[in-house]
């Protein structure tokens, strides 16, 4: 949930300005709060959500928020991220676009009964495979293991070793950066009147590892952004 961290939102806006990004693509819409956060920051915001209940809820929330402001935007899809990203890549190629896209990967699903391989456990691996060869992009991976709070399934962490091969297939020239504890600035529950935001923030503030989450930034060239350190 990048919207909980003011610094992360600021880092995304700085990346937008450096790379002249107009399109923000999120996987895992959940309640739609991240979409609402980034709507004023980008010309186009896309998001996909596989769970029908979350999708319906987010659509309604976003519509209520955004009504009469822009035709069509944002674009929310009730699809798995793998299907959606394949569709988006095709659409981008057919339009002969060259602009840089931000992909914010935040779709998580874990069912211990169904998981046989890392690809089944970690949706992000399916997403990176779907983005293979998409060089004009910045990939941001939430819940990454950089020693801050992160995802671990069956004792396997969402760390660089897990991601490296598939990231290189998206862009072998990616430069990697992460956030640090000192660069987190997490919103407090009392700062919002929105019940969904408050519930998420109360959950986030329930334990330090839920409050301060690791983020990996994969960018096409070297950058110098305060609060982001090189990952090597």
Ligand X SMILES: C[S@@+](CC[C@H](N)C(=O)[O-])C[C@H]1O[C@@H](n2cnc3c(N)ncnc32)[C@H](O)[C@@H]1O
Which stretches of the chain bind ligand X, using CB under 6 A? 1-3, 26-28, 30-31, 33-34, 48-51, 54, 80-81, 106-109, 123
Q: Write down the least CB distance from residue 114 to ligand X, Å.
A: 12
How many degrees, rounded to 5, is the angle at CA 93 between CA 88 and CA 94? Answer: 100
| Among 151, 149, 111, 105, residue whose Cα is nearest residue 130 | 105
CB 118, min distance to ligand X, A? 14
Nearest to ligand X of 41, 175 (CB atom)? 41
Residue with Cβ nearer ligand X (205 or 220) = 205
Smaller CB distance to ligand X: residue 175 or 194?
194
Compare residues 119 and 175 and give the one whose CB is closer to ligand X.
Answer: 119
**And the tokens for 84?**
């959606």
Q: How far is the CB of 144 from ligand X (least distance, A)?
A: 13
CB of 127 to ligand X, least distance (A): 8
CA angle 93, 95, 101 (to 5 degrees): 65
Task: Give whichever of 54 and 136 is closer to ligand X, judged by the CB atom.
Answer: 54
Q: Which residue is nearest to ligand X (CB)?
A: 28
Strand order in the sheet with 137-142: 75-77, 44-48, 23-27, 101-105, 137-142, 215-219, 175-178, 229-230
Cα 49 to the center of its chain, rounded Å:
12
CB of 189 to ligand X, least distance (A): 15
221 to 100, 141, 226, 230: CA distances (angstroms): 12, 17, 16, 12
């Amino acid at each position: 949930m990048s919207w909980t961290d003011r610094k992360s939102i600021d880092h995304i806006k700085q990346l937008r300005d450096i790379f002249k990004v107009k399109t923000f693509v999120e996987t895992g819409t959940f309640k739609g709060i991240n979409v609402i956060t980034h709507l004023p920051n980008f010309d186009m915001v896309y998001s996909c959500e596989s769970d029908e209940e979350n999708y319906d809820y987010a659509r309604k929330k976003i519509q209520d928020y955004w009504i009469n402001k822009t035709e069509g935007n944002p674009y929310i899809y009730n699809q798995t991220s793998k299907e959606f990203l394949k569709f988006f890549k095709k659409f981008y190629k057919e339009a002969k676009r060259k602009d840089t896209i931000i992909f914010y990967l935040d779709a998580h699903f874990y069912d211990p009964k169904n998981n046989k391989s890392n690809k089944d456990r970690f949706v992000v691996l399916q997403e990176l495979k779907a983005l293979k060869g998409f060089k004009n992009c910045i990939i941001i991976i939430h819940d990454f293991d950089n020693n801050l709070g992160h995802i671990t399934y069956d004792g396997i962490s969402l760390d660089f070793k897990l991601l490296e091969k598939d990231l290189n297939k998206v862009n072998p020239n990616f430069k990697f950066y992460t956030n640090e504890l000192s660069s987190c600035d997490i919103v407090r529950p009392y700062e919002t009147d929105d019940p969904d935001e408050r519930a998420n923030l109360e959950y986030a503030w329930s334990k330090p590892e839920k409050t301060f989450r690791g983020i990996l930034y994969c960018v096409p060239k070297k950058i110098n952004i305060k609060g982001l350190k090189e990952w090597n």
